[in-house]
A and B are shown apart, each in its own frame.
Chain A
Amino acid sequence: MPHDGHHHDHDHGSELTETELRVRALESLLVEKGYVDPAALDVLVETYEKNVGPRNGARVVAKAWDEADYKAWLLEDASAAIASLGYTGRQGEDMIVLENTPETHNMVVCTLCSCYPWPVLGLPPTWYKAAPYRARSVSQPRSVLAEFGVTLPDTTEIRVWDSTAETRYMVLPMRPDGTDGWSTEQLADIVTRDSMIGTGLVEAVS
């Protein structure tokens, strides 16, 4: 199988083939030994392919933009405020939401592995898990943001949050101008995954 979607500088297709074979062997061994229910594997994959993704986080952001009380609760006790919308559980048990403002821009990384708030953002994209972002986001955040097409004024402090513990961080991006009177559904439609990681800004285009 070609490993489309990978962006490594060198080819290691033969290694992947070896990995594929070993993973296939592992699957049949674990099923045959009775350690895993094969139907459970399908549900695990389906959950993150179909049901749990950045649309959840976008609804949280839209509600916070729309309702001042909810926003205050979200910044005070993110786990509870997010759970009230039904987004709970694995890799998001203890949530913290960071508010972006003209003065402060927050962005999230996990330099040691790839910790990411699954219940609100789903599974992380490849770049979040790969070496370039994990290495440079802490030391060269402005140059990293530039690679995402984001340039911030010198007067904006950049705060990079390295997820070294089981606390999980999500960014509350700034609401763009020109969205007064929009419904929460309309607002949720413009909130991008990257804006909730802190590597993107939200723009008022639907």
Chain B
Amino acid sequence: MNGAHDLGGGHGHGPIAPDPNEPLFHGDWERKAFSLTLAMGFTGQWNIDQSRFARESMAPGRYLETSYYEHWAHGLEVLLADRGLVSEAEIQAAKPIGPAKPVQRILNAEDVVATLQKGGSAKRDEASAGPAKFNAGDRVIARNINPPTHTRVPRYVRGRAGVIERVHGVFVFPDTNAKSADEKPQWLYAVRFEGQELWGPDAEAGACVYVDLWDDYLDPA
């Protein structure tokens, strides 16, 4: 979706202002937003692409005015409501109104460290995708697509020409995984775009951008 999350190339957001003494979490609510999101992710009610789509679906004005963990908290609420796990009325009342719905798994404290260390790769068997459409060195154009649903092709590369730099292997395709949990595994590449191609005469000299893009985002140039 063409949401406020798609920030690449934007102006007017102010200085970067790194804070060398920043704490990991700014207050307890951030710890809660973080840990609740991870723990609920483990229940198997949604995948990572559905989770990203829930966050980026925040109204653009609000997205830009709120912080990272506010995006997380918003995304969690959207998913919980959509899956019928927690309703707005329950959040308002701060207590359960209906019975709990069964979930696939619950993350127990003693399993947390092993679960995090195990992770869950989005890489799939190469046989699940057929041959790669492109090889390193091929010239490609990122498709100009504008789906209102989740996608990972940023606006600033759409319609732009680049060169395949690396072939990463076969990975879950976010667009269909977010829509219907259809993994549609396909080849993923790091594509190099020259600064001039992306930003025209305003590009800084001697700079380029690499973007990870799947087969379904690319055409031969």
Asked if A and B are interacting partners, one says: yes
Interface residues, chain A, CB within 8 Å of chain B?
1, 3-10, 12, 15-16, 19-20, 22-30, 32-37, 39-45, 47-49, 52, 88-94, 96, 111-114, 119, 122-123, 125-127, 129-136, 138-144, 147-148, 154-167, 194, 199
The answer, yes or no, to whether B153 is at the interface (CB within 8 Å) is: yes
Residues of B close to A138: CB separation below 8 A: 8-9, 156, 198, 209
Compute how far the CA of A51 lies from the CA of B70 in the bound complex, rounded to whole angstroms. Answer: 25
Would you call A5 and B40 a contact (CB within 8 A)? Answer: no
CB-CB under 8 A from A94, the residues of chain B are 121-123, 168-169, 171
Contact of B112 among A44, A114, A148, A164 (CB under 8 A): A44
Contact A6 B121 (CB under 8 A): no
Q: In the assembled complex, how far is the CB of residue A130 from the closest CB belonging to chain B, in whole angstroms?
A: 7
Q: How far is the CA of A6 from the CA of B77 in the complex (A)?
A: 23
Across the interface, do A166 and B121 meet the contact criterion of CB distance under 8 Å?
yes
The closest CB in chain B to the CB of A92 belongs to B119
B172 close to A113 (CB less than 8 A): no
Contacts of A199 in B (CB 8 A): 18
The chain B residues found within 8 Å of chain A, CB to CB, are 5-11, 13-19, 22-29, 31-36, 38-40, 43, 48, 52, 55-56, 64-68, 70, 73, 76-77, 80, 85-86, 90-92, 94-96, 100, 103, 106-109, 111-113, 115-123, 152-154, 156, 166, 168-169, 171-172, 174, 188, 190, 192, 195, 198-199, 202-214
A90 and B116 contact, Cβ closer than 8 Å, known pairs A30-B40, A112-B5: yes
* Residue from A30, A34, A162 in contact with B154 in the complex, judged by beta carbons closer than 8 Å: A162
CA–CA, A197 to B175, complex, Å?
27
Pick from A6, A27, A139: contact of B32, CB under 8 Å: A27
